[in-house]
Amino acid sequence: MLVGDKVYEGRTKILYNTADPDLYRLYFKDEATAFGKRRGAIAEKGVYNAQISTILFTLLSEAGIPNHYREKIGERVLLVKKLVMYPLIIVVRNAVAGSLAPRLGLEEGFQLLEPVVEYYYKREGADNPLLNESHLNTLGFISAGRLQTCSILALQTNLLLRNYFAHRGLLLVDFKLEFGLADEKVFLGDEISPDTCRLWDVGTGEKLDKDRFRWDMGGVEEAYREVVERLLGQV
Ligand code: TMP
């Protein structure tokens, strides 16, 4: 494979090789999908998500959470460490929203007594099924020890991000993380953005995340921009 070759293209991001065998270029697209069906684009989303991910991964690095972010090298491009990703999505929830509301029969916004950690199997052609630890043991792609490391890192990330967003008037309702291995160690990969987090204005409850796209609520680009501005301290 040549330097600059595309390694992988997902729905919202593209990975490219670099001259450094340990690093990839991660390009953020404007495309958005929802529920595996709805497709569209959110103007400038790639720029906003690259910026937001940079700010949040930098915060996590400073707190000692190992992650793939190395440097921002373009408006929508990050240099990231090469990881071998687990086919696993870890969701952390502080309040009920999204798929948890019908699953538990609780109202959206119900505050959870402590954060809930969930696992989903990331598979092409399947609808990211919910997994428990027993399923994970049977599937065998991650050891119990490494799963525990990922779960602890996810909960530490939750504490850091929840506090950080709260200082900017945002409630971190829930989010998803993806982890991978490099040098025999676990690192946090992927992105952290309004595509992968639910963020509500603390005062009004207004949704400032991808739910605006999922539910066709309008004001999608404005919501992403508002999150950038709050993180940059411009509002
Ligand atoms: P859910 O309520 O739809 O299960 O999603 C919980 C949170 O995790 C929400 O912030 C969206 C995020 N998430 C993704 O971004 N991608 C996924 O594949 C999953 C399962 C969740």
What is the CA(61)–ligand 1 centre distance, in A? 23
Q: How many CB atoms lie within 10 A of CB 222?
A: 10
pLDDT in tens, 184-205: 999 999 999 999 999 999 999 9
Which pTM value belongs to this model? 0.97
Domains in the chain with CATH codes = 6-81 (3.30.200.20), 84-219 (3.30.470.20)
Residue 176 CB–ligand 1 contact under 6 Å: yes
DSSP-derived secondary structure for 111-123: EEEEEEEEEEE--
Contact 85, 178 (CB under 8 A): yes
What is the CA(19)–ligand 1 centre distance, in A? 34
**Positive or negative torsion for Cα 45, 48, 51, 57:** negative
Contact 36, 42 (CB under 8 A): no
Helix (H, G, I), strand (E, B) or coil at 220: helix
Q: Tell me how far the alpha carbon of residue 77 is from its chain's centroid.
A: 16
Nearest to 38 by CA among 60, 8, 11: 11
Q: What is the pLDDT along the chain (235 residues), one digit of tens a residue?
A: 788 899 999 999 999 999 999 999 999 999 999 987 889 999 999 999 999 999 999 999 999 999 999 999 999 999 999 999 999 999 999 999 999 999 999 999 999 999 999 999 999 877 899 999 999 999 999 999 999 999 999 999 999 999 999 999 999 999 999 999 999 999 999 999 999 999 999 999 999 999 999 999 999 999 999 999 999 997 6
Name the DSSP letter for residue 127.
T
Residue 175 CB–ligand 1 contact under 6 Å: yes
Q: Tell me how far the alpha carbon of residue 87 is from its chain's centroid.
A: 14
What is the CA(33)–ligand 1 centre distance, in A? 12
Name the DSSP letter for residue 63.
T
Among 90, 91, 96, 162, name the best residue to mutate to test ligand 1's pocket (greatest count of ligand atoms within 8 A of Cβ).
91
Phi, psi of 110 (to 5 degrees): -60, 125
Q: Which residue's structure tokens are 């411009």? A: 234
Q: What is the pLDDT of residue 2?
A: 84
Q: How many CB atoms lie within 10 A of CB 99?
A: 15
pLDDT in tens, 95-127: 999 999 999 999 999 999 999 999 999 998 778
Beta bridge partners, 6, equal 16
Strand-strand pairing, 77-81 and 69-74: antiparallel
